[in-house]
């Protein structure tokens, strides 16, 4: 059995910049946009692009992610010849093997998995990006351009370019230089961390890189520069749709707010469904005194208070007199009577007690930011959680 392309999804990142939200779970399993978890986007993109074999590399707090992905059935990835596979680090015979030491090392450690499918190409994905992308188009270009590696790039402003890995192109349109977070960017094409490699070539570079003691075993820092140095053909695939990295509290909050508008990313498009695994809940219920404006609400919610400009995941409860403004409430979160939640992210199953106040409106000050409460907390009645706060335990407030 030979596949044209299989995908390897890097879901092992610690997500340390999401702090309390990732204290019990890996970043890709963080709830997003009401119905979803972050990993639903790359998984659905794979399924919609006709890529039916996806290896999901996990290592950091994988339990929730493993049970979420299961056999891949929600994304139609439960096929006979392929499917979704969880690939944790493991020790082989003679205690060979280790934790993944870098993105390239994670793939290196799973060479035998890839060999089993013997694909012509391998698609490398991150588990922390929100976007809809047809990888089949990218693969077509990759094959047409006879590239050893095709890197998906996004045009950014020159100011933003300093925060990304930037591709400089030669006269022939191929990538001639890769610069990680350049101070003086010479191009505005930023890498999205989505790569398609010719598998025999990648295999060779992975083995060589693994033997290099000075390498940090990273695609951006090591593999791509080494391929460029060796004169391989690297093609930039231009993507011009919605794409967000949701690795920080601010970017996660921003991207959630983007879901309130279909002009940013249209999730209602039947041609490109984003699927998710969700427990069946009854439709959401709005009581007599509820008020919901410019918000998204998911099944299982019970709303008796005010909800404005907010994103509510499944089974959220907003009691009478509670106000939820410009906030993201993850599954099972509760705002008890008279509680106020504004400019905040509330983790799964966290209860904001009666009359408590979480977050604050932007006041133009330097220190202002989105307030965050981790999962499974109980914010005691009447408590006050200031802007920018990061709450890990119920005892903190």
Partner 1 sequence: MLDFHGIVFAYRTAPALGELVSYRTAASLPFCGRYRLIDFSLSSLMNAGIRDVGVIMQRDYQSLLDHLGSGKPWDMSRKSRGLRILPPFGLPEYHKGDYAGTMEALNAVAAYVRDIPQQHVVLLLGDLAANIDLSPILEQHLRVGAPITAICSEHTPRSARNRYVADENGFVKSARYDVQGEGEGYASLEGYVIEKQTLLSMMARADERNEYRFHRGGIDDYLAGGGKMALAIHRGYAEIIRSVDDYYSASRDMLAPAKRREMFPQERPVRTKSQEGVSTYYGENASVSGSLVADNCIIEGELKDCILFSGVRVGKGAKLENCILFRDTVVGDGARLNAVIADKRCKIAPDTVLTGSEKLPIVIGKGKSL
Least distance to partner 1 from the beta carbon of 385, Å? 25
Please, which of residues 311-370 interact with partner 1 by CB under 8 A?
311-313
**Number of neighbours of residue 112 by Cβ within 10 angstroms:** 8
Please, which of residues 9-38 interact with partner 1 by CB under 8 A?
33-35
Tokens of 325: 């403004």
Q: Give the C-alpha separation, 255 to 253, whole Å.
A: 6
**CA-derived radius of gyration, the chain:** 22
Q: Which stretch binds partner 1 (CB under 8 A): 9-17, 142-150, 274-282, 342-350?
A: 274-282
Q: Which stretch binds partner 1 (CB under 8 A): 119-127, 132-140, 185-193, 255-263?
A: 255-263
Q: Binder to partner 1 among 267, 321, 349, 381 (CB under 8 A)? A: 267
Q: Binder to partner 1 among 74, 127, 193, 331 (CB under 8 A)? A: 74
DSSP 146-213: T-SEEEEEEE--HHHHTTSEEEEE-TTSSEEEEEES-SS-S--EEEEEEEEEEHHHHHHHHHHHHH-T
Does the protein bind partner 1 through residue 264 (CB under 8 A)?
no
235 CA to centre of own chain: 24
Q: Binder to partner 1 among 50, 70, 241, 287 (CB under 8 A)? A: 287
How many residues at the interface with partner 1, by CB under 8 A?
37
Least distance to partner 1 from the beta carbon of 135, Å? 19
Q: Tell me the backbone φ, ψ of residue 139, rounded to 5 degrees.
A: -65, -40
Does the protein bind partner 1 through residue 211 (CB under 8 A)?
no
Phi-psi region of 88 (alpha: psi -120 to 50; beta: other; left: phi over 0): beta
Least distance to partner 1 from the beta carbon of 283, Å? 3
Does the protein bind partner 1 through residue 284 (CB under 8 A)?
yes
- Residue in 49, 203, 210, 201 with CA at minimum distance from that of residue 113: 203
**Structural contact between residues 44 and 275, judged by C-beta atoms closer than 8 angstroms:** yes
Does the protein bind partner 1 through residue 80 (CB under 8 A)?
no
Instruction: Please identify, using beta-carbon distances, which residue of 144 and 289 lies nearer to partner 1.
Output: 289
Please, which of residues 290-319 interact with partner 1 by CB under 8 A?
290-299, 307, 311-313
Least distance to partner 1 from the beta carbon of 267, Å? 4
Q: Which 3 state secondary structure label does DSSP give 334?
A: strand
* Residue 396 burial class via C-beta count within 10 angstroms: exposed 0-12, middle 13-18, buried 19 and up: middle
* Residue 80 burial class via C-beta count within 10 angstroms: exposed 0-12, middle 13-18, buried 19 and up: exposed
Least distance to partner 1 from the beta carbon of 179, Å? 38
Q: Binder to partner 1 among 19, 113, 174, 285 (CB under 8 A)? A: 285
Q: Binder to partner 1 among 289, 362, 365, 393 (CB under 8 A)? A: 289
Instruction: Please identify, using beta-carbon distances, which residue of 111 and 296 lies nearer to partner 1.
Output: 296
388 CA to centre of own chain: 22
Does the protein bind partner 1 through residue 171 (CB under 8 A)?
no
Least distance to partner 1 from the beta carbon of 35, Å? 5
Angle of CA points 113, 115, 119, to nearest 5°? 110
Tokens of 87: 């690939």
Q: Which stretch binds partner 1 (CB under 8 A): 169-177, 179-187, 289-297, 340-348?
A: 289-297
Q: Which stretch binds partner 1 (CB under 8 A): 101-109, 187-195, 261-269, 317-325?
A: 261-269
| Beta-carbon contacts of residue 288 (< 8 Å; ≥ 6 apart) | 304
Least distance to partner 1 from the beta carbon of 284, Å? 6
Does the protein bind partner 1 through residue 231 (CB under 8 A)?
no
What are the residues binding partner 1 (CB under 8 A)? 33-35, 74, 259-260, 262, 267-268, 273-275, 278-280, 282-299, 307, 311-313
């Amino acid at each position: 059995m030979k596949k044209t392309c299989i995908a390897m999804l890097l879901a092992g990142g610690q997500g340390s910049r999401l702090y309390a939200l990732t204290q019990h779970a890996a970043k890709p399993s963080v709830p997003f946009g009401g119905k979803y978890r972050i990993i639903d986007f790359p998984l659905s993109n794979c399924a919609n692009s006709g890529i039916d074999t996806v290896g999901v590399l996990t290592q950091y707090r994988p339990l929730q992610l493993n049970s979420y992905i299961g056999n891949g059935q929600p994304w139609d990835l439960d096929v006979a010849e392929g499917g979704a596979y969880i690939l944790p680090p493991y020790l082989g015979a003679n205690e060979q093997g280790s934790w993944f030491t870098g993105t390239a090392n994670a793939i290196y450690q799973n060479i035998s998995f890839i060999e089993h499918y013997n694909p012509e190409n391998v698609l490398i994905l991150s588990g922390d990006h929100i976007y809809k992308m047809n990888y089949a188009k990218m693969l077509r270009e990759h094959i047409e351009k006879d590239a050893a590696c095709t890197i998906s790039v996004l045009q950014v402003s020159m100011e933003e370019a300093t925060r990304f890995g930037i591709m400089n192109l030669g006269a022939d349109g191929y990538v001639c230089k890769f610069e990680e977070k350049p101070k003086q960017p010479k191009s505005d094409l930023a890498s999205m961390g989505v790569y398609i490699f010719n598998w025999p070539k990648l295999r060779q570079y992975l083995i060589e890189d693994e033997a290099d003691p000075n390498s940090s075993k990273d695609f951006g820092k090591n593999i791509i520069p080494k391929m460029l140095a060796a004169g391989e053909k690297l093609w930039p695939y231009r993507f011009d749709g919605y794409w967000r990295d949701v690795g920080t509290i601010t970017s996660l909050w921003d991207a959630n707010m983007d879901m309130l508008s279909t002009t940013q990313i249209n999730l209602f498009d039947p041609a490109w469904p984003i699927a998710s695994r969700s427990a069946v809940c009854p439709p959401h219920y709005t009581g007599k005194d509820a008020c919901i404006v410019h918000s998204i609400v998911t099944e299982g919610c019970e709303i008796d208070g005010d909800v404005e400009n907010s994103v509510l995941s499944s089974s959220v409860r907003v009691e009478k007199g509670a106000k939820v403004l410009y906030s993201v409430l993850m599954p099972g979160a509760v705002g008890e009577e008279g509680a106020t939640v504004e400019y905040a992210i509330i983790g799964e199953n966290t209860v904001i007690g009666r009359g408590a106040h979480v977050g604050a409106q932007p006041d133009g000050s330097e220190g202002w930011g989105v307030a965050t409460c981790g999962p499974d907390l109980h914010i005691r009645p009447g408590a006050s959680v200031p802007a920018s706060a990061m709450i890990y335990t119920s005892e903190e407030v």
